[in-house]
Amino acid sequence: MLTIENIETFYDKVKVLNGISFTVAEGKITAILGNNGAGKSTTLNTILGLIDDQPEKGTILYQGLPIEGRETHRIISLGIGYVPEGREVFEELTVKENLLVGAYQRRDKRAVKEDLERILTWFPALKDRIGQMAGKLSGGEQQMLAIGRALMNKPDLLILDEPSLGLSPRLVTEIFGIIKEINKQGITILLVEQNARMAFQVADEVYIMENGRFVRNGPAVELESDEDVREFYLGIKENESIKGYQRYKRKRTWR
Amino acid sequence: MKLKRGYFEDIRIFRNRASRFWTFLFILVLALLPFFIKAYYLSVINLMALNVIVALGLNVLVGNTGQISLGHAGFVAIGAYSGALLMQLGLPFVPALLLAALLTALIGAFLGIPSLRLEGPYLSIVTLGFGLAVMVIIGRMDVFGGRTGMSVPKLKLGWTGLPYDTALYYVFTITTVVLVIITIILLKSRIGRAFQAIRDSDIAASVIGINVSHYKTFSFAISAFYAGIAGCLWGLYLQFVTPGTFSFMMSIIFLATIVLGGLGSVTGSVLGAIVMTYLGLQLENIVGVPVLGDVIVAFSDSLMNTSGIANIKWVLTGLILIGVILFEPMGLNGLWLRVKRYWRLWPF
């Protein structure tokens, strides 16, 4: 559905994405994992056209259509929903209004109303607070609202930037439950996460990113049993190392 | 403190019968005013009208779209000079006014392009530079009379049968009222709401599908359009324009006007411009106030240079602005809303 080939993104002269390629398969959940500063959000922002004049090199194909270098609103109109990092809800609008502005590009008013009802059934917490200012919601509710807003544009592909950011573990589980639910409705999902445990639980395909390139990728079940991934991302150590010697050695074999 | 119950309510122009009644009463008062007051006050009101127009445009840009401009005097200058030139070339008033405003809007759109990449302090520097550059460039051009300035032809308003001042008052007032109504409609429209979405979060605005670059440039163009109209009228008001009129201080005062009035509100622009113009004219007279005046003169003589007394105006303006920000952050509009809540349906 979404094919990224060899993209390079620069912030001024600093190369942040070092020729990354990946594909998001239709109907699946694809997750990009990585530490702070690995380039995960940059990858998404590059796809969405949120960084000026980027990518410098490479192609991004959405359903066979090249979208690199296009303006964000045009990319959105192709049926991509985006939930930005830090949620970015309109704080002075109510929950309902926030959801309705999500349908900004749609002209079919009646269907918008139906979709609003349908989306609210996925987020019972939002339904209770439909008339409240979005700025007064908790972090988890704002995250749900941001997801709901993106869904209002009827996307075929939903892209989420760190949905677990700043949420309590219980809320993280809830949000990921909802993401899985959305995926079951036939919406393809690409998400970026630091919370590896959660990402492995929901994702079908996982890419691991370090310093602007992918170091490992594969089906989630396969990667999850990988010894390195278990140690470095899930914090499970099978055999104790002596003064971190093994850790050093293994890390070196990554690239 | 908010009186709004929903944004859908905002789409209507008049909220209830009371507001319709007061609006029409106000317009009636404006229409009959010249027959009851002295010519001097008419010219004060004209100056207020000019400031209202610029404030409306600037508030769309700053208060509603969240961009900034420290160079609005530059737009006013462009409007004034191009309007004057077009009228000298023999173009009738209305086409000259619109053409001058459109030209200003075009230049505004060009200035809007850096706003796509720049934010906050950086954008203010660009616009500041623009405002200064316009003055210098105009001062160098012989078509515009260089630094001595150029005279603006008087309008042919004899057919109205009114004295020139009164007729000019009507031209200014009608333009202002029309622009106020256009602004209200604009802000309630899809365009106005896109502006506000960009102000609140430009990332969110772009990911719900708003063409951010388009609307940011458009906002600059609209804002410049208003300034262009005000500029063209400003020329008529002064009958003679020099580059020095449209100084950097003017841009700052415009910005202060909308902050005083209340960012992002049409009522705020109007109230702010009226109060600011009045202060600008009246504060110089403070020297004449019995005790306070003497104190200020003594203060000025001991601490400032010989032109110090004129500067007192700016000192006091600054103090009043600080007071407003401290006690009423929503500006005069906040005050107005509070009064309005009390009198909401009176006398119905």
Q: Could you tell me the residue range of the domain that residue B48 belongs to? A: 9-248
- Shortest CB distance from B197 goes to which of A76, A90, A150? A90
> What is the distance in angstroms between the Cα of A213 and the nearest Cα belonging to chain B?
25
ipTM for the complex?
A: 0.76
Separation of alpha carbons B162 and B155, rounded Å: 13
- Shortest CB distance from A102 goes to which of B201, B203, B208? B208
> Mind listing the pLDDT tens digit for each residue in B171-220?
899 999 999 989 988 988 888 888 888 888 888 888 888 888 899 999 99
Residue A102, SS3 per DSSP: coil
Give a yes or no: residue B226 inside a domain: yes
Give a yes or no: residue B153 inside a domain: yes
Whether B9 shows a pLDDT value over 80: the answer reads: no
CB A72 within 8 A of CB B212: yes
CB B217 within 8 A of CB B307: no
Residues from chain A that touch B208, judged by Cβ atoms under 8 A, are: 76, 101-102, 104-105, 149, 153
Return the amino acid letter for B7: Y
Q: CA angle, B184 as apex, B181 and B190 as ends, to 5°?
A: 130
| Best residue of A48, A73, A77 to probe chain B, by most B CBs closer than 10 Å | A73
Q: State mean pLDDT over B132-146.
A: 84
- Give the range with max mean pLDDT: A161-165, B56-60, B136-140, B251-255: B56-60
DSSP state of B150: E
Give a yes or no: residue B285 inside a domain: no
Residue of B nearest to A155 (CA): B208
Chain B residues within 8 Å of chain A (Cβ atoms): 6-7, 116-117, 193, 197, 200-201, 203-204, 206-213
Sign of CA dihedral A181, A185, A186, A187: negative
> What is the distance in angstroms between the Cα of B274 and the nearest Cα belonging to chain A?
29
Provide the residue ranges of all domains of chain A, joining segments of one domain with +: 2-90+153-224
Mean confidence (pLDDT) of chain B:
83
- CB-based contact B209 A89, cutoff 8 Å: no
In terms of Cβ atoms closer than 10 Å to its own Cβ (0-12, 13-18, 19+), residue A221 is exposed
Number of domains in chain B: 1
- B75 — pLDDT class (breaks 50, 70, 90): very high
> What is the distance in angstroms between the Cα of B195 and the nearest Cα belonging to chain A?
13
Whether B105 shows a pLDDT value over 90: the answer reads: yes
Separation of alpha carbons A31 and A205, rounded Å: 6
Residue of A nearest to B5 (CA): A131
Residue of A nearest to B201 (CA): A88
H helix count then E strand count, chain A: 11, 10
How high is the pLDDT of residue B15? 61
- Topology adopted by domain A2-90+153-224: Rossmann fold (3.40.50)
- B344 — pLDDT class (breaks 50, 70, 90): low
- CB-based contact A88 B206, cutoff 8 Å: no
- CB-based contact B213 A104, cutoff 8 Å: no
Separation of alpha carbons B315 and B319, rounded Å: 6
Q: By C-alpha distance, which of B77, B80, B72 is closest to B239? A: B80
- CB-based contact B213 A89, cutoff 8 Å: no
Q: What is the largest CA-CA distance in chain A?
A: 65
The angle, 0 to 180 degrees and rounded to 10, between the axes of the packed helices B266-282 and B331-343 is 110
Per-residue pLDDT of chain A (255 residues; tens, 9 = 90+): 888 888 888 888 888 888 888 888 888 888 888 877 778 888 888 888 888 777 778 888 888 888 887 888 888 888 888 888 877 888 888 888 888 888 888 777 787 888 888 888 888 878 888 888 888 888 888 888 888 888 888 888 889 888 888 788 888 888 888 888 888 888 888 988 888 788 888 888 888 888 888 877 778 777 777 766 666 677 666 666 555 555 554 554 554
How high is the pLDDT of residue B104? 93
- CB-based contact A93 B7, cutoff 8 Å: yes
| Best residue of B118, B191, B198, B208 to probe chain A, by most A CBs closer than 10 Å | B208
How high is the pLDDT of residue B225? 95
How high is the pLDDT of residue B66? 87
